[in-house]
Amino acid sequence: MPLTIDENRSLWAARAAPRAALPALKEAMECDVVIVGGGFTGMSTAYHLAQRHPEKRIVLCEAKRVANGGSGRNGGLMLNWVNGVEPGDPGRAANIWRATKEGIDLVEGIIRDNGLDVRWRRDGTLSVHTRISGAEEAAREVAALRAEGLPLQFLDRSALPSRLRLEGTMGAVYDPTSGHLDGVSYLEALLPVLTRMGVQVFEGTPVTKIEEGTVCTVTTPGGSVKAAALVLATNAYTPQLGYFRDRLFPLFAHVISTERRSAGDWAQRGWSPQIAGFDDDLDRVAYGCMTQDGEVVFGGGHNSAYGYHFGGKTTWAGEADYASVHQRFLQYMPEAADVPVAHHWTGPVCLSWNRICAMGVRGAAKNVYYALGYSGHGVTLANLAGKVLADLYDHTDSRWKGLPFYQGEMAWIPPEPARWLGYHVVTRLTGKTPRKRGVKH
Ligand SMILES: Cc1cc2nc3c(=O)[nH]c(=O)nc-3n(C[C@H](O)[C@H](O)[C@H](O)COP(=O)(O)OP(=O)(O)OC[C@H]3O[C@@H](n4cnc5c(N)ncnc54)[C@H](O)[C@@H]3O)c2cc1C
């Protein structure tokens, strides 16, 4: 039976404590900053702005519920690095790594400072290399980055602490600072904190129209908000609002998760319980994480793990091939063949042509802030975005200049029907998603 995005609940949403939805906006309001979207980008921006400016009136409009989008449907890997950037100069690469680590540190700090009850772990992930040339290059890069003070390790195949050894796996980079985050548990815990800080959050409040100017106006079915600044925190949904239509490519990603098992059980099957997750170097990147409760979440690795709708629609209507995603998982972990799949779901990922995300400010009045196009690395980057956008708002953003996402110009993507045709022809013929190769930094 076809799934729609609403029926199709992630593991994270399925196990969240029930909560009555917050009321929808039903009046005409004025405020200082209006944020559109209640995912990591919108909520982190609200947090940093409210913390710095307790006197400012901040309103957040979420079309459905907080964590409805990718933030509540992802694979849970909280990784360093900016997707699409190929490491070049070690000093610059170390700067990028330190910036993204700050995104993870921010999540950790918010959890700690506010005593949040969140399902997450930060005990490192593996980036698996499946080609000998790639593994050799990774080993050299790790050596150069260690010389810059980064705590990365290269593990060759025989040293891998688990049996994450897809045939052809040549080695992996271990990053001890990355981890796993249950986005629904995080954003649900953050919501009352924002409310206490004075942020007004409206759920069931889709923004249907945006008018820019020195004062921006957003219209919703029940009301409107006028604000001196606007934040677009809608990632894959942004083209529907009329922004970045020729720069963003919303793609659905399908994910499975297994039944819960004990750490000892997984260790016997080959997944060292000390490792929070992994991803690999395939174009259709495979990724998996071990939740702190003992479920394995897995996605990617094959065309069947993704889907694109004509016009970049963000409502999933079609059959997702979860059986193939499961088969792919078993190629990584054949020992898990008898562990049933307990959940499966799909959600919108937002790709840019070269996979590099963008965070910046635009508009004639320079008051429309945006952070989007995370291309699958948004758990860290969308949480970092709140700080970057708050710095842009405060004109204290000089430290971000030179980083690949800062005021990033995303490349042009052909319109429909070339886009739909191009995607389907290229993925069928090559098994790869069309892309412009990454930039060396
Ligand atoms: C299946 C899947 C697996 C992924 N796995 C990983 C992973 O393992 N690691 C990783 O780093 N990243 C992963 N990602 C990507 C990551 O989840 C996203 O990049 C990140 O969550 C984006 O956060 P966001 O807040 O910008 O957008 P979203 O979380 O999508 O939030 C946007 C919000 O805006 C709301 N909205 C949309 N339109 C309107 C409107 N008109 N008015 C008001 N509100 C609106 C939506 O309802 C939504 O809640 C994955 C994504 C998916 C879908």
pTM greater than the 0.75 cutoff: yes
pLDDT band of residue 160 (cuts 50, 70, 90) is: confident
- Residue with the bigger pLDDT between 428 and 27: it is 27
pLDDT of the residue at 318: 75
* Per-residue pLDDT tens over the stretch 313-328: 888 877 788 999 999 8
80 close to ligand 1 (CB < 6 Angstrom):
no
- Let me know how many helices (H) and strands (E) the chain has, helices first: 9, 22
Q: Nearest Cα to 128, choosing from 278, 271, 267?
A: 278
* Per-residue pLDDT tens over the stretch 176-215: 999 999 999 999 999 999 999 999 999 999 999 999 999 9
pLDDT of the residue at 2: 38
Q: 54-63, 151-160, 257-266: lowest mean pLDDT where? A: 151-160
C-alpha span between 330 and 337 (Å, rounded)? 6
Identify the sign of the CA torsion 8, 13, 19, 21.
Answer: negative
pLDDT of the residue at 281: 83
Q: Nearest Cα to 223, choosing from 61, 33, 38, 69?
A: 61
pLDDT band of residue 1 (cuts 50, 70, 90) is: very low
Dihedrals φ, ψ of 51, to 5°?
A: -65, -40
Given a cut of 50, whether residue 3 has pLDDT beyond it is no
pLDDT of the residue at 438: 55
pLDDT of the residue at 439: 56
Q: Nearest Cα to 373, choosing from 346, 344, 412?
A: 412
C-alpha span between 293 and 295 (Å, rounded)? 6
Query: What integer is the mean pLDDT of 63-83?
Result: 96
125 close to ligand 1 (CB < 6 Angstrom):
no
Query: What integer is the mean pLDDT of 363-374?
Result: 97
- In the three-class reduction of DSSP (H, G, I as helix; E, B as strand; rest coil), residue 406 is classed as strand
Are 90 and 382 a contacting pair, CB within 8 Å? no
pLDDT of the residue at 440: 54
371 Cα nearest atom in ligand 1: 26
290 close to ligand 1 (CB < 6 Angstrom):
no
Q: How far apart are the CA of 71 and the centre of ligand 1, in A?
A: 4
Q: Which residues contact 205 (CB under 8 A, 6 or more apart)?
A: 24, 25, 61, 62, 63, 220, 221, 222
Given a cut of 60, whether residue 351 has pLDDT beyond it is yes
Given a cut of 90, whether residue 372 has pLDDT beyond it is yes
What's the one-letter identity of residue 324? S
Q: Which residue has the tokens 């008051």?
A: 367
